[in-house]
Amino acid sequence: MSMIAAFYGGKSILITGATGFLGKVLMEKLFRTSPNLKVIYILVRPKAGQTLQQRVFQILNSKLFEKVKEVCPNVHEKIRPICADLNQNDFGISKEDMQELLSCTNIIFHCAATVRFDDPLRHAVQLNVTATQQLLQMASEMPRLEAFIHISTAYSNCNLKHIDEVIYPCPVEPKKIIDSLEWLDDAIVDEITPKLIGDRPNTYTYTKALGEMVVHQEGRNLNIAIIRPSIVGATWQEPFPGWVDNLNGPSGMIIAAGKGFLRSLRATPMAVADLIPVDTVVNLTLAAGWYTAVHRPKSTLIYHCTSGNLNPCNWLKMGLYVLATFEKVPFEKAFRRPNADFTTNILSNQYWNAVSHLAPAIIYDFYLRLTGRKPRMTKLMNRLLRTISMLEYFINRSWEWSTANTEMLMSELSPEDQRVFNFDVRQLNWLEYIENYVLGVKKYLLKEDMAGIPKAKQHLKRLRNIHYLFNTALFLIIWRLLIARSQMARNIWLFIVSFCYKFLSYFRASSTLKV
């Protein structure tokens, strides 16, 4: 019997960010392994014209929840969506709902965040810092609370090379930042943002670090743990391999490469690609929730949920695995044949951006215009280049994360829990994982049917022929121009022609002699 699964039985659990990538997998695992839990409260906002109920209905009816419905047929009765916007005071939660949350909640999993790299500081602070502070305030009024699990990121201290499972102070106190944002106008905030974030690459990593400080300072009287995952990718094993539902991290890049848009990337081939499957993060999170509530460690424990130190894979290997998978399961209607490359040099990166990204897009848009259609490829390509430029920081560096707490937690688990809540990345086979990841991207993000693979392969063959034809034509045109303008080119051309002629004559003469 799993001790962790039993622990969550009968519990009232509050999850923020349950509609997000990590939140959904967390909820799924909880329902599947502890179907006798009492209730999961989820803080949800209406979005994109959908009510809370519609959003929950959509999640429960997705493929991700198919197994849950078998083990927990009354799952819809156990999920209690609470209308909440984390950007508002008291999250805009009604008095009755707040009362219920305060009096019933046993465990909190705080997953909600803005994960955008380019969010204005004000918005990122509001969600990643102020909302965390408010949730801690709520938590301190919950008499039945046993554990508060805060999801941060392994990159919150990405300005350091070696990162321990400790909280590193930021130069400016979170409280001071929150206070000053109240009276500073947006223009000034934008101006001081680079100075505040210092040697971090974006507002996301900076505000996640501030969020950790808030947890450390204001959660002293609570039973708290912080989870720091690295780059969260598709599921490894559970509920099935390869599930993914958003474009963050590598998923968007896999699409861009598979569809032939991404042909070159400024990345350091030997840098560690610290991917971590989302189900591994969820298993560690649930194990940490159990450990924090049952063992009540004296201080806040931080768990690094990373792969680099236990089972490292570099970007070169990962890229090759991705490309090899495209051979077997190509994406449909590719723009060009997938054949991307890594470069470390900024100049050669700019050259390839011009030649391999922008030039084909401009030529294609020209063709669209000629055929009376609206050009769109250059705009799309510029957007892709902007996204890539934001990811570059993370694919050109390696970090070392110590994992002593994570390893300690693993050793505290019973053999059954180590199996049911497996977060041992040493068992992960990267090639198999990447194959399933690419397949998952094709099925769950692009919604492409496996039956379309022969047609996709045919399309790629056609693209290869067009590519050869285009290159030959280009070569001939350039050569013709050179011959017209340069005596040296003419001489080389004459030399090649006379050499070929002599070779052919010799060949013909020797075959006549043999006869």
Ligand X SMILES: NC(=O)C1=CN([C@@H]2O[C@H](COP(=O)(O)OP(=O)(O)OC[C@H]3O[C@@H](n4cnc5c(N)ncnc54)[C@H](OP(=O)(O)O)[C@@H]3O)[C@@H](O)[C@H]2O)C=CC1
DSSP string computed for 393-432:
HHHS---EE--HHHHHHHHHS-HHHHHHT---GGG--HHH
Report yes or no: 197 and 157 within 8 Å, Cβ to Cβ: no
232 near ligand X, rule: CB under 6 A: yes
Report yes or no: 181 and 87 within 8 Å, Cβ to Cβ: no
Name 436's Cβ contacts closer than 8 Å, sequence gap at least 6.
234, 236, 241, 242
19 near ligand X, rule: CB under 6 A: yes
Cβ-based nearer residue to ligand X, 111 or 302: 111
Torsion of the alpha carbons at 257, 399, 153 and 431, rounded to the nearest 10: 40
Q: Which stretch binds ligand LJ27NJHV (CB under 6 A): 293-301, 384-392, 419-427, 446-454?
A: 384-392
CA 204, 132, 65, 422 torsion-angle sign: positive
Q: Which two tokens stand for residue 267?
A: 């990345």
Query: Side chain identity at 383, as an amino acid letter?
Result: R
* Residue 162 Cβ vs ligand LJ27NJHV, minimum distance, rounded to whole Å: 18
Q: Rounded CA gap, 402 and 70, in Å?
A: 39
Q: 147: how many CB neighbours lie within 10 A of its CB?
A: 24
Write down the number of H helices and E strands in the chain. Answer: 22, 13
Q: 389: how many CB neighbours lie within 10 A of its CB?
A: 12
Q: Which stretch binds ligand X (CB under 6 A): 3-11, 83-91, 140-148, 313-321?
A: 83-91
Q: Which of residues 119-158 bind ligand LJ27NJHV (CB under 6 A)?
A: 153, 155
Q: Which does 82 bind (CB under 5 to 8 A by kind): ligand X, ligand LJ27NJHV, none?
A: none
* Residue 444 Cβ vs ligand X, minimum distance, rounded to whole Å: 14
327 near ligand LJ27NJHV, rule: CB under 6 A: no
Q: Which of residues 132-151 bind ligand X (CB under 6 A)?
A: 151
Choice from 52, 56, 108, 115 touching ligand LJ27NJHV (CB under 6 A) = 115
Q: Which two tokens stand for residue 35?
A: 């179907």
Choice from 229, 241, 360, 440 touching ligand X (CB under 6 A) = 229
Choice from 320, 368, 385, 492 touching ligand LJ27NJHV (CB under 6 A) = 320
DSSP 5: H
Cβ-based nearer residue to ligand X, 81 or 338: 81
Q: Which stretch binds ligand LJ27NJHV (CB under 6 A): 95-103, 175-183, 248-256, 500-508?
A: 248-256
Cβ-based nearer residue to ligand LJ27NJHV, 3 or 390: 390
Q: Which stretch binds ligand LJ27NJHV (CB under 6 A): 61-69, 103-111, 175-183, 387-395?
A: 387-395
Q: Rounded CA gap, 275 and 115, in Å?
A: 16
Choice from 3, 6, 368, 390 touching ligand LJ27NJHV (CB under 6 A) = 390
Name the helix (H) or strand (E) containing 224. Answer: strand 224-229
Using CB under 6 A as the binding criterion, the count of chain residues that bind ligand X stands at: 28
331 near ligand LJ27NJHV, rule: CB under 6 A: no
Choice from 7, 41, 243, 342 touching ligand LJ27NJHV (CB under 6 A) = 342
Q: Could you give the 3-state DSSP secondary structure of residue 117?
A: coil
Cβ-based nearer residue to ligand LJ27NJHV, 222 or 425: 425
45 near ligand X, rule: CB under 6 A: yes
Q: 205: how many CB neighbours lie within 10 A of its CB?
A: 22
Q: Rounded CA gap, 212 and 167, in Å?
A: 7
Enumerate binding residues for ligand LJ27NJHV (CB under 6 A).
115-118, 153, 155, 231, 247-250, 252-254, 257, 265, 316, 318-320, 322-323, 340-342, 383, 386-387, 390-391, 394-395
